[in-house]
Amino acid sequence: MTTPFGRALCAMITPFTETGALDLDGAQHLATHLIAHGCDGLVLSGTTGESPTTTDAEKSALIAAVREAVADRASIVAGIGTADTRHTADLAREAEKAGADGLLVIPPYYSRPPQDAIEAHFREIADATELPLMLYDIPIRTGTRVEPETILRLAGHPRIVAVKDCSYDFLGAQKMLDRTDLAYYAGCDEHNLALYAVGGTGYVSTVANVIPSHLRGVLDTFDTGDTTHAARLQQRATPLIEAIMSAGLPGTVTTKALLTALNLPAGPVRAPLRPADRTTTDGLLSLHRALTTT
């Protein structure tokens, strides 16, 4: 199995202060906590990290601060996706300077380019630095699918090494696992074990912000050969996964609400996102306690 960035990656939230400023001390604290509890990689400035509302300078500062905190104990993958190829290439170079180990790149959103333009976009970003790339296929947010045949062509590029799969096309993912050497990471927490069981590398998980050791335990248990217990662990996490990711609020909102309730760094979300209400937060905390105390 190819594991260019590790197996258990957390799509880390970006902590802010109560006034909405970037909280670098909080980011270092949270990153250290996540690594200590089973994460072997961190994805910064992705969807969960509120990348649309952080500046280029904040993205670089976040990478540098987390690199300082975790040293070589974990990989750092920098989300650099924008709707502009030139801007994305600039962010790639800045991420490399700041200390990232890899890049997470979405297809350009809003303009909805055709597949040949998406392929050219990824190739230009891959050629902008010496860092390995993880393609991020999440059509529900970008409006554009990275089609399996496009991924197959991109797999020949020496620096395109992985895919974060949020396509909800499980058959397509299995076909790519059979036809390429790309590392496939589940980008939807309900698929963590399923994709791993058919040859996936691991996950890039939002829910790992709040239950990093439990999700790591699913993979570790599967690796021991106790697949029945691994399935039970995945199933036990399902109510919390659903509440965080599929209950009508963005995962960033629910994750930050739960982290704050757990006294871990998070802070507010940036507009246009709005914070979770008390009832939602109490429900999340109840589910978390049920999972972690039994």
Instruction: Give the whole-angstrom CA distance, residue 290 versus residue 294.
Output: 6
Measured in degrees and rounded to the nearest 5, phi and psi for residue 10 equal: -100, 130
Q: Which two tokens stand for residue 183?
A: 């590392």
Active-site entry in 59, 97, 110, 164: 164
Measured in degrees and rounded to the nearest 5, phi and psi for residue 140 equal: -60, -25
Instruction: Give the whole-angstrom CA distance, residue 13 versus residue 178.
Output: 33
- Closest-CA residue to 236 (of 252, 218, 216, 250): 218
Q: Which two tokens stand for residue 12?
A: 């880390």
Instruction: Give the whole-angstrom CA distance, residue 75 versus residue 47.
Output: 18
**Distance in Å from the first CA to the final CA of the chain:** 33
Torsion region of 74: left, alpha or beta (phi above 0 gives left; psi -120 to 50 gives alpha):
beta
Active-site entry in 59, 97, 110, 136: 136
C-alpha 191: how far from its chain's center?
13
Instruction: Determine whether 175 is an active site residue.
Output: no
* Upper half-sphere CA count for residue 208 (Cβ side, 13 Å): 37
Q: Which two tokens stand for residue 168?
A: 């909800």
Count other Cβ atoms within 10 Å, centred on residue 201. Answer: 24
Instruction: Give the whole-angstrom CA distance, residue 66 versus residue 56.
Output: 16
If you search the block for the tokens 């990711």, which residue do you land on? 245
Instruction: Determine whether 59 is an active site residue.
Output: no
Measured in degrees and rounded to the nearest 5, phi and psi for residue 72 equal: -105, 20
Q: Tell me the angle at which helices 85-98 and 115-126 cross, rounded to the nearest 10 degrees.
A: 30
Active site residue ranges: 136, 164
